[in-house]
Structure 1
Amino acid sequence: MGTRVLVVDDAATVRLFYRGVLTAIGCKVDEAWNGAEGLEKALRDPPDLMLVDVNMPHLDGYGFLRAVRQEPELQAIPAVMISTESTAADAAQAYAVGANMYLHKPVRPERLSGLVRVLLGMPPA
C-alpha cells in the first residue's frame, strides 16, 4: 500500500466513508479535520492525492488549496475538491485555487474509487 491519500474534511463520518472506499482499493489514508491541519500534514509527508472539503473551520478548502499550490513540493499533487456547494461559481473558485476536479457530495463509492484510480494511474477494478 504505497499510494497515500490525504483526506481533509471536518466531518468524521465523511472521513470514515472515504477511508473505507480508499483502503478497499489499496490506498493508505491520512486524515485532517481542517485545512490548517491538512497543510501541516501535507508539508511533513506529501501525499499522492488530496481529497478536500470546502467548508471547514480554521482554514477552508479554498485557503488550503491556495496554500498548497504555493509550495513547490506540493504543487503537482492532484487535488479533488468535494463539497455540498453546487453552483458553477463554487466549482470555478475551486479550479481557480488549484483543484484538479470538483465533485458534489454525496459521492457514490464507485465514482470515488474510479476517479482515484484514474488520478493515481491505478489499473481499473
Structure 2
Amino acid sequence: MTDRARRVLVVDDSALVRRWVRHVLEPAGFAIEEALNGIEALEKALGGGFDLIVVDVNMPRMDGMTFLRSLRRQPLPVGGTPALVASTENGPQDREAARRAGANFYLVKPLDEEILRSHVAALAGAPAWTP
C-alpha cells in the first residue's frame, strides 16, 4: 500500500454536508473533491483517479441513483470506483434501489463521524484512522 492520500469525491447539493464530510475526512488523510450534482460528479469521475465516491440520492439535475447507473456503465477503472450512498431515505426499498444502481454501501443521514471514517477507509482501501 502506498502512502498517498486516497481521493474521495463527495457529491451532495448541500454545501453544509459537503463541508462537514470534508471536515471529517481530511484530518484522516483523505483528499476531498466536491460535486454539486450527478452531472458534475460524472464529469469529474470520468477524469479518473478517485478511490471512492460518497453520493447523496436527492439532488437536482441528476440524482444519485442515475449517477451511479451512469458510473457503472463506464469502462474500468472508472466504472468500478467504489461508491458509498449517504441519504436521508431509510426504507429497505431505498437500500435495494441503491444496491441495484451500483452502490457498495449505504449510510443514513445524519452521519456519525466514526462510522463514516471507518466505511470510507474500508471502501477506499486506506488504513484505519486513529486520532
Find the residue that maps to 1:75 and give its secondary structure. helix
Match of 1:10 among 10, 13, 19: 13
**2:61 matched residue in structure 1:** 58
How many residues of Structure 1 are paired with residues of Structure 2 in the alignment?
Answer: 125
User: Amino acid of the residue matched to residue 71 of structure 1?
Assistant: Q
Matching of residue 68 in structure 1 with residue 68 in structure 2: no
Give how far 1:44 is off: 1.7
Provide the rounded CA distance (Å) in 2 between the counterparts of 1:7 and 1:15: 6
Q: How does 1:98-113 map to 2 (within 5 A)?
A: 98-113=102-117
**1:95 matched residue in structure 2:** 99
Provide the rounded CA distance (Å) in 1 between the counterparts of 2:19 and 2:5: 20
Give how far 1:123 is off: 2.2
Structure 2 segments unaligned to the other structure (5+ residues): none
TM-score computed with the length of structure 2 as normaliser: 0.91
Give a deviation string over 1:69-116, Cα, whole Å, max 9, x none.
Answer: 000132221100110001000000000010000110011111101111
**2:82 matched residue in structure 1:** 78
Closer, same or farther: CA 122–44 of 1 in aligned 2, 3 Å: closer
Find the residue that maps to 2:5 and give its secondary structure. coil
